[in-house]
Amino acid sequence: MSYGETEAVRGIDLEVARGEIFAFLGPNGAGKTTTVEILEGYRKRTGGEVLVLGEDPATAGRGWRDRIGIVLQSNSLDPYLTVRESIELYAGYFSHPRSVEETIALVGLEGKADDRARKLSGGQQRRLDVGMALVGDPELLFLDEPTTGFDPSARRQFWDVIESLRELGKTIFLTTHYMDEAQRLADRVTIIAAGRIVAQGTPEDLGEREKAAATIRYRDARGEEVTIETLDPVRELNRITGEAMERGEDLDGLEVTRPSLEDVYLDLTSTAEGVAGE
Q: What part of residues 148-207 is at the interface with ligand ATP (CB under 6 A)?
A: 177
**Listed ranges 31-39, 49-57, 118-126, 223-231: which one lies at the site for ligand ATP (CB under 6 A):** 31-39
Q: For residues 188, 194, 196 and 198, what is the CA-based torsion angle, rounded to 10 degrees?
A: -50
Rounded to an integer, what distance in angstroms lies between the CA atom of residue 178 and that of residue 151?
13
- Is-contact 271 185, C-beta < 8 A? no
Closer to ligand ATP by CB, 106 or 189: give it.
Answer: 189
Closer to ligand ATP by CB, 137 or 145: give it.
Answer: 145
**Listed ranges 21-29, 50-58, 178-186, 226-234: which one lies at the site for ligand ATP (CB under 6 A):** 21-29
The correct pick among 32, 112, 155, 196 for binding ligand ATP (CB under 6 A) is 32
Q: How many binding residues for ligand ATP (CB under 6 A)?
A: 12
**Looking at residue 26, what DSSP letter applies?**
-
Shortest Å distance, C-beta 213 to ligand ATP: 30
* 3-class secondary-structure state, position 24: strand
Q: Does 276 bind ligand ATP (CB under 6 A)?
A: no
Q: Does 29 bind ligand ATP (CB under 6 A)?
A: yes
Closer to ligand ATP by CB, 31 or 131: give it.
Answer: 31
Shortest Å distance, C-beta 110 to ligand ATP: 32
**Looking at residue 13, what DSSP letter applies?**
-
Q: Does 3 bind ligand ATP (CB under 6 A)?
A: yes
The correct pick among 21, 23, 25, 30 for binding ligand ATP (CB under 6 A) is 30
Rounded to an integer, what distance in angstroms lies between the CA atom of residue 227 and that of residue 218?
7
**Looking at residue 253, what DSSP letter applies?**
E
**Listed ranges 3-11, 62-70, 97-105, 218-226: which one lies at the site for ligand ATP (CB under 6 A):** 3-11
Q: Does 256 bind ligand ATP (CB under 6 A)?
A: no
Rounded to an integer, what distance in angstroms lies between the CA atom of residue 197 and that of residue 143?
19
- Is-contact 70 88, C-beta < 8 A? no
Q: Does 34 bind ligand ATP (CB under 6 A)?
A: yes
Q: Does 8 bind ligand ATP (CB under 6 A)?
A: yes
Please, which contacts does 249-252 make with residues 24 or more away whose CB atoms are closer than 8 Å?
A: 249/220, 249/221, 251/218, 251/219, 251/220, 252/218, 252/219, 252/223
Closer to ligand ATP by CB, 135 or 189: give it.
Answer: 189
Q: Does 26 bind ligand ATP (CB under 6 A)?
A: yes
The correct pick among 5, 6, 59, 153 for binding ligand ATP (CB under 6 A) is 6
User: Angle at which helices 122-134 and 152-167 pack, to 10 degrees?
Assistant: 10
Q: What is the per-residue DSSP string for 165-230?
A: HHHTT-EEEEEES-HHHHHHH-SEEEEEETTEEEEEE-TTTGGGGGGSPEEEEEE-TTS-EEEEEE
Shortest Å distance, C-beta 62 to ligand ATP: 26
The correct pick among 16, 23, 33, 158 for binding ligand ATP (CB under 6 A) is 33
Contact residues toward ligand ATP (CB under 6 A) are: 3, 6, 8, 26, 28-34, 177
